[in-house]
A and B are shown apart, each in its own frame.
Chain A
Amino acid sequence: MSFRLDLDLFPIAAGLLAALTCGLLGNFLVLRRLSLMGDAISHAVLPGLVIAFMLGATRSPLTMLAGAAAAGVATVVLIEAVKKLGRVEPGAAMGVVFSVLFALGVLLIERAAVRNIELHADCVLYGQLELLHWYGAPDSLTGLWSVATLQAIPRQVWLLLGMFAVAVVFVALLFKELRIASFDPALATSQGVHAGAMHYALMLLVAGATVAAFEAVGSILVIAMLIAPAATARLLTDRLSIQVWLSLAMAAAAAVGGYASAAAVPAWFDAPSVNAAGSMTLVAGVLLVAAVFFSPAHGVVARNLRRRALRRDTELDNLLASLLPGRGAGAADAANLPARPLAVAARRGLVRIDQAIPALTDDGRKRAAAVVRRHRLWESYLVEDAGLRPDHVHATAEQLEHLPVTPAQHTRLDPHGRPIDPTDENGTSPSA
């Protein structure tokens, strides 16, 4: 796709700013389990818009904004009221408030239509990025640095820029307070941070971001960007500060990538471009799915690999332990032993197979002894410190022995009377 200043500059700017603002605030919503507040607010601004519209009977942006902002704040207050007054579960309280307000909005739109006022609920959902085309844009990027450019910046973009600045200042100044209020509201209050005030300030900003963004990019993108970048970043890191930066990167990637692919992907099939806000949402979704699978610490793939490595280690440990003298498989031939761990053990030089009879090498014997030792240490721990009966601990110890941690050794003998270090029993008691 070729970038055209007149068609693409301001839509991209609007999408990017909306995504960044929502992505930034979303971090704290996701942590506080309030992700769906964005959903609720962006549905519930509809009646505010329509009422402001009917009162002003024009599309005056300021009245509309005021109406939407009022509705946004009213939503937050109403949800709290229903939750507290009616002791209704938070999710249900949200559902009641936003769906009834949205219904009111739909009804009012019909009334407004009676008076020949053009207003569609669709534009609240999808936004109207195409309104941001810049007719008379300079031909080249070098012509961009001029006062004319500043004058040409549409109102929607200014608004989003202002909202983004407010959100950045809010988060930068109150980061510490936001963090503590997000993770532990009670602790925050006891430390002198008013968690309730933080909550309302955050909600106010979310309402502001929703209102600022809906006209340009629509509420779908707002809802998605309030959750997806933060959730994606949350899968990638455990540190909040890193999560915030990552979420901003994700939001930017989704906005730019989504805008580009809205025109580029259909062009491969000779189709006209698709809804840009929806496409940005989809890219955010793709990024999320990628993080779900490929996150280094928490991803499905990494976890499965870790699990498989543990399983292999466990199999190997069990094989080596069974090959210790006097432990059942001492004289077994290779055919009766599990093939995969045996191959691994042979490759690593832990086992030597001599005429189909496997025997432990010195390294193998060391590792096997360590496994048996860990097993017996755990048995001692479970009996002496956890208070279990000696005949109840074998199965648990069988699992714990493969962990990289071991309990401290207090005694020489395990609960069954065997020396904890199996090298002590060589030659004395071959029964196991």
Chain B
Amino acid sequence: MSARHASIPEVQDAWPTWRQVADTLTFSAGYNTSVVLAGAALLGVAAGIVGAFALLRKRSLVADALSHATLPGIALAYLAATALGYAGKSTPILLLGATITGVLGVVSIQLLLRHTRLKEDAAIGLVLSIFFGAGAVLMSVIQSLPRGDAAGLQGYIFAQAAVMTGADAQLMGVIAVVAAVTAALLIKEFGLVCFDDQFARVQGWGVQTLDLAMLSLIVLVTVAGLQAVGLILVVALLIVPAVSARFWTERLHRLVILSGLIGGLSGYLGAATSALLPRKPAGAVIVLTAGAIFFVSLMLAPSRGVLAATIRRAKVRVRIAADHLLEAGFLHQHEGGAPRLHAEGVREVAQHRGWGPLMHAALRLHAIRTRLGRFEAGAFLLTPKGVERGRRVARNHRLWEQYLVTHAELAPSHIDWTVDQVEHVLSEDLVAQLESLLGDAAIPASGAARAAGAPG
């Protein structure tokens, strides 16, 4: 990718050919591109796996503080190495410095939490900003040094200029594999600590040791990710895939695997895009890919997604609207009429409940599908099944009303609204309990029983 940059900067917005796309994605576009691609994908997998535990342990933003806290370490490592006569920009030295101050930052958070009354958010924010401020000071020291080869250090902040060499990518890959394997081996223990650390402690697990292991993994991934995505964005790799995966499953194993897959996919696609298109910084593209997957998950996930929730809510609203219609129809029959609601009655209910044309259409469909009744020239005709349903709603309404007046000591004038809400969600068990509690005063029991004159 760096070669393309250097040779043809004019063709800035040229799209790659399909051939180039295929070559890049199948790891056959040259050694360097392939290594970077593999490294980014592995990093994504590791970050996804580790991030899943961080999310469950509610530690997502500790990673943010940690990554910001690496800046003074990078600067100090550079200064120390230069002072001792080594090449300051050697990657392992810089990463070692980053690790040391990163860990120091995490330890500072723990100390602040233990010895002061500050809450976690304040502790994280304090460490993040103060360490980063120290980093800024040290960076300005480096920039004022006579030997001006410090430009590459800025790359650790945004990874804009970070051009990964094969060796860098390999180092990243190794770290990623170590993190992923450790997390996979300790999945049961980590899960226990995440979900119920008190229980884990009682069961004799070394919760502190496990927490430490988890934090070390976060440190490893953060440091490994510094070069690929920069220290501000590396936290995204730890958070975004895990949060996205959380939408799709409630099970720990699946969450961890899915989170790893999403992270890996983000790394792979992001690195490929950045290799194919000039002026697409790898880190930002990787994070935006993860962000896109997050958005899709937020919207489309089967049970936790926004779309699914909206549909579920709409269904409930239609069912409740139908209940109101059936209740009105039943009461009409109960007062001696036919099991139907005249067009005027339907209009009245619709007006009272504020239904629009959309709700009317939905009700029509609902009535046909459930065979509870049908519309005919504006009037609503109840089937016997519909009458029974209407009776149940009316009965629940009065049971709950009675309960609130006699047992919850609410004034009769105060209960209509709550009853209207609750009557649709009373369970069978609760109805039976209410019946035995309240006896049966003036409540229509069932059409058949009433006709037979039996007490209800």
Contact = CB atoms under 8 A, between A and B. Distances in A.
A and B together in one complex: yes
Interface of A: 30, 33-36, 38-39, 43, 82, 85-89, 91-96, 99-100, 102-104, 106-107, 109-111, 113-114, 121-122, 125-126, 218, 220-221, 223-224, 226-228, 231, 234-235, 262, 266, 271-272, 274-275, 277-282, 284-285, 288, 292, 298, 300
Nearest to B124: A36
Contact of A298 (B117, B139, B280, B283): B117
Contacts of A266: 141
B60 interface: yes
A16 B137 CA distance: 18
Contact of A39 (B112, B116, B128): B128
Nearest to B246: A88
B96 interface: no
A223 B125 contact: yes
A227 B131 CA distance: 13
B291 A103 contact: yes
B430 interface: no
A298 B118 CA distance: 11
Interface string B148-187: 0000001001101000000000000000000000000000
Interface in B274-309: 279-281, 283-288, 290-291, 294, 298, 304, 306, 309
A279 B281 CA distance: 30
Of B119, B140, B298, B309, most buried by chain A (CB within 10 Å of CB) is B140
B306 A39 contact: no
A234 B125 CA distance: 15
Given A109-B160, A278-B137, 15 more contacts: A30-B119, A43-B232, A91-B61, A95-B240, A106-B233, A110-B160, A110-B279, A110-B284, A218-B136, A224-B129, A224-B130, A231-B118, A235-B116, A281-B134, A288-B126
Of B129, B230, B281, most buried by chain A (CB within 10 Å of CB) is B129
Contacts of A104: 284, 288, 291
Given A86-B306, A103-B291, A107-B288, A121 B158 contact: yes
Nearest to B299: A85
A100 B240 contact: yes
Nearest to B139: A275
Contacts of B137: 262, 274-275, 278-279, 282
Given A89-B58, A107-B281, A274-B140, A235 B64 contact: no
A106 B158 contact: yes
A284 B242 CA distance: 34
Contact of B136 (A92, A114, A126): A126
17 contacts: A33-B120, A35-B122, A35-B124, A39-B128, A86-B247, A86-B304, A89-B58, A89-B60, A91-B60, A96-B294, A99-B239, A103-B284, A114-B12, A228-B129, A272-B144, A284-B130, A285-B133
A103 to B, nearest CB: 4
B121 A35 contact: yes
Nearest to A82: B298
A256 to B, nearest CB: 16
Contact of B55 (A87, A92, A218, A281): A92
Contact of B119 (A33, A82, A121, A281): A33
B260 interface: no
A100 B247 CA distance: 18
A125 to B, nearest CB: 7
Contacts of A231: 118, 122, 126
B226 to A, nearest CB: 15
A225 B118 CA distance: 16
A102 B133 contact: no
B116 A34 contact: no
B243 A96 contact: yes
Of A36, A218, A278, most buried by chain B (CB within 10 Å of CB) is A278
A110 B281 contact: yes
Contacts of A87: 304
Interface in B223-252: 230, 232-233, 235-236, 239-240, 242-243, 246-247
Interface in B44-71: 55, 58, 60-61, 63-64
A227 B125 contact: yes
Contacts of A280: 133
B279 A114 contact: yes
A107 B284 contact: yes
Contacts of B112: 292
B78 interface: no
A107 B124 CA distance: 27
Given A113-B279, A228-B130, A278-B133, A102 B306 contact: no
Of B136, B240, B243, most buried by chain A (CB within 10 Å of CB) is B136
A99 B236 contact: yes
A95 B304 contact: no
Interface residues of B, number: 64
A168 to B, nearest CB: 23
Contacts of A91: 58, 60-61, 121
Contact of A224 (B133, B158, B232, B239): B133
Contacts of A278: 132-137, 139-140
Nearest to A258: B133
B281 A220 contact: no
A154 to B, nearest CB: 22
Nearest to B237: A99
B353 interface: no
B115 interface: yes
A153 B242 CA distance: 48
A281 B130 contact: yes
A236 to B, nearest CB: 11
A228 B140 CA distance: 22
A33 B279 contact: no
Contact of A102 (B124, B130, B233): B233
A298 B125 contact: no
Nearest to A108: B284
Nearest to B301: A86
Interface string B302-333: 00101001000000000000000000000000
A391 B393 CA distance: 60
A220 B136 contact: yes
B115 A96 contact: no
Contacts of B243: 86, 88, 92-93, 95-96
B240 A106 contact: no
B64 A39 contact: yes
A320 B417 CA distance: 70
A235 B130 contact: no
B117 A282 contact: no
A268 to B, nearest CB: 13
Nearest to B133: A281
A38 B240 CA distance: 20
A86 B299 CA distance: 9
Contacts of B236: 95-96, 99-100, 102-103
Contacts of A220: 129, 132-133, 136
A126 B140 CA distance: 10
Contact of A227 (B126, B232, B233): B126
A408 to B, nearest CB: 32
A277 B139 CA distance: 12
B133 A282 contact: yes
Contact of B157 (A110, A125, A218): A125
Contact of A282 (B115, B128, B134, B291): B134
Contacts of B144: 271-272, 274
Contacts of B126: 35, 224, 227-228, 231, 285, 288
